[in-house]
Amino acid sequence: MAQQTQKVNPQFANGNFIEEVRIVIMEDTAQVAATKKEMEDFYKAFFIKPRTIFNPLITDLAISRINEENNVKNAYYEIYESESGSGSVGRSVSIQIYVELTSGEETATKAKGLFSREGKDFPLLYESGQAQFKFLVNAGLGFYNDENALFAQGEAFTQGNPIADDPADEDTRFWMETFVEPGISGISKLGNSNIYWYGEASVLASARNTSDIYSSGSAGHIDVERLYTGFLITGLGKNKDITLNANYGRNFFQLNDGFLFSRYSGSSNAGPRGSVYSSSRTTYQKNGNLSIQWGKFRLSGHFLEPQELFKDKQQNTNYTIGTFNFNNNKNLDAAISYIATTGGKAKYATPNGAIQKKGIYVINPKLWLTNIAETGLFFKSEYAYQSHTQEDMQSYAWYAGLGYSFKNIATNPSIYYRYAFMKGDDANTEDYERFDPILTGGLGNWVQGLNFRKVLGNGNIVSHRIELTSWVSKRMSLSVDYFYLQANQLNNLGGLPPISSLKNKELGHEASVTLKGLLKDHFTFLGVVSYGIPGKGLNEAFIEKTPNWLTVQAAVFI
């Protein structure tokens, strides 16, 4: 690759946007990049191109079809975090495809898999150029230690929270979480057409061994995780460059890098599900997607409803999203999305009483630039104008981030600064102005302070973020993040009860250190240490000064 970036497991990248596709042709000892014509042919043959959604099913079948070519000895791919942007989890990805050629004798292609070759290819169940079915399994084991969690004010911060039967105080909480997700995935071409059917089904079991920062004792839960199906049609139009992709069911979704909709906000994990920190459940319980890719343009529509924690207290809030995107496959990615809250019973408090979330809409333009002026400079920004079809509500939020990656240094260090603004409500105006962050999240992207996120949410926040990232080995990268958090308005109605009204806008500081990478090809390590220091806005909400909050986390994902 042109420079070193973080390699990730394909299952972790499932549902994220593809920012770049590279193909490397290998013959004997020579390695050359695919020509522009070869790249265009690849884009037309497979639905794998920049700004489409990465799906391991589709990519695996594409690699299988390449391997069937007579002059191909072996083909495989690897997934990397994109070179632009920042964040530990949930960012866009790059695909590196390797094609090793041979000049030997032609050999007949044989089907592979558990059902065709005495089980030697397990977990592959069946594979040919027309279809692939495989057994999938994801698992994780994490250890978590928090000192003075919730700034030792757990009872105050969790008022009315049904899962908080033992909220943290000025104490130490140490616990373990684990999960396992077995399932089956498959994709098949329909005859000689350019139509593919695909789908996945899995069950996820999660458990906690003792009290976390909210809930007492152990917990365990088993439920369906993935359950969706869809179809893909390639090679449409006069130039064979139009692709249509549609799916529906329990599936992953993320809009951009999680500013408004994060993959990690698709499902609830706390309380009886025993996965509050490992966040093992990420699929939305209802997720319909339809996208049309035409050259460098993409038009997509989405319907989303997140998985809530208690079946007898469902709010059933759902969203409809339409996005128009342009990507020149080089350094420009621009889009505009329209988001509408189209259903559900959820409400939120205003100075004049509660109003329905149904009816909220957002207009969300985006501009991302990479490799500016052929340097390592990159820029990311989004704006969100928010209003309501039936209520006096107008708000907005935005961010702008500028970063630089030092390409000529072996450890590939980078620096990134981001300013983010999420408006608060001015109680002296008629309109309600507090920005509703919808389903934001994602460790390293839109968790604005790993600890502070649990008490502040994301509304009424002005944040400064500085991130430094570098490689410490061939497989491990180290990131250091610093957040300075302030409130936009002293009126904080909509925040947690102790801080619904602030005396000071200074919320606090948080510094995090993250070590992540592959231990082996199927084992990913994530270690985090984060230290939160409350500012005057938090301290003055309580009689006694709130202590600092330290969390230490270590997890291995399989």
Place of tokens 């207009």: 363
Q: What separation in angstroms does the CA of 126 have from each of 76, 131, 232, 426?
A: 17, 8, 20, 61
Nearest-CA neighbor of 524 among 78, 139, 92? 139
With residue 13 as reference, give the H or E element that holds it: helix 10-13
Spatial distance between the Cα atoms of 54 and 76, rounded to a whole number of angstroms: 15
Determine the straight-line distance between the first and last CA of the chain, rounded to whole angstroms: 25
Nearest-CA neighbor of 255 among 487, 440, 28? 440
With residue 402 as reference, give the H or E element that holds it: strand 394-405
- Phi and psi torsions of 514, nearest 5°: -125, 125
Spatial distance between the Cα atoms of 272 and 263, rounded to a whole number of angstroms: 21
Residues of the chain with pLDDT under 70: 1-6, 47, 51, 82-91, 103-122, 443-444
> Rounded to 5 degrees, what angle do the CA atoms 476, 479, 481 make?
165
The helix/strand/coil state of 221 is strand
Nearest-CA neighbor of 58 among 36, 37, 43, 38? 43
Residue 46, token pair as written in the block: 């497979």
pLDDT for residue 457: 80
Instruction: Please answer whether residues 264 and 16 qualify as being in contact, where contact means their C-beta atoms are separated by less than 8 angstroms.
Output: no
- Phi and psi torsions of 370, nearest 5°: -125, 155
The helix/strand/coil state of 233 is strand
Instruction: Please answer whether residues 371 and 378 qualify as being in contact, where contact means their C-beta atoms are separated by less than 8 angstroms.
Output: yes
Phi-psi group of 222: left, alpha or beta (phi > 0 → left; psi -120 to 50 → alpha; rest → beta): beta
- Phi and psi torsions of 272, nearest 5°: -65, -15
- Phi and psi torsions of 152, nearest 5°: 60, 25
> CA gyration radius for the chain?
24
Instruction: Please answer whether residues 397 and 385 qualify as being in contact, where contact means their C-beta atoms are separated by less than 8 angstroms.
Output: no
The helix/strand/coil state of 153 is coil
Spatial distance between the Cα atoms of 186 and 229, rounded to a whole number of angstroms: 9
pLDDT for residue 198: 94
The helix/strand/coil state of 82 is coil
Type of residue found at 50: P
Nearest-CA neighbor of 247 among 237, 236, 233, 260? 233
Q: Write the burial class of residue 408 (CB in 10 Å: 0-12 exposed, 13-18 middle, 19+ buried).
A: exposed
Residue ranges covered by each domain of the chain: 7-127, 131-557
Residue 134, token pair as written in the block: 């495989």
In CATH, what is the architecture of 131-557?
Beta Barrel (2.40)
> Rounded to 5 degrees, what angle do the CA atoms 451, 203, 214 make?
25
Nearest-CA neighbor of 371 among 401, 404, 325, 400? 404
Handedness of CA 302, 221, 445, 361 (dihedral sign): positive
Place of tokens 């365990």: 220
Give percent helix, percent strand, percent coil of the chain, each to the nearest 5: 10, 50, 40
Handedness of CA 306, 312, 315, 320 (dihedral sign): positive
Spatial distance between the Cα atoms of 92 and 20, rounded to a whole number of angstroms: 9
Instruction: Please answer whether residues 303 and 320 qualify as being in contact, where contact means their C-beta atoms are separated by less than 8 angstroms.
Output: yes
pLDDT for residue 82: 66
Q: Is the pTM of this model over 0.95?
A: no
- Phi and psi torsions of 290, nearest 5°: -140, 125
Instruction: Please answer whether residues 450 and 512 qualify as being in contact, where contact means their C-beta atoms are separated by less than 8 angstroms.
Output: yes
With residue 506 as reference, give the H or E element that holds it: strand 506-520
pLDDT for residue 444: 66
pLDDT for residue 390: 92
Look at strands 347-348 and 377-388 and give their pairing: unpaired
Spatial distance between the Cα atoms of 378 and 257, rounded to a whole number of angstroms: 15
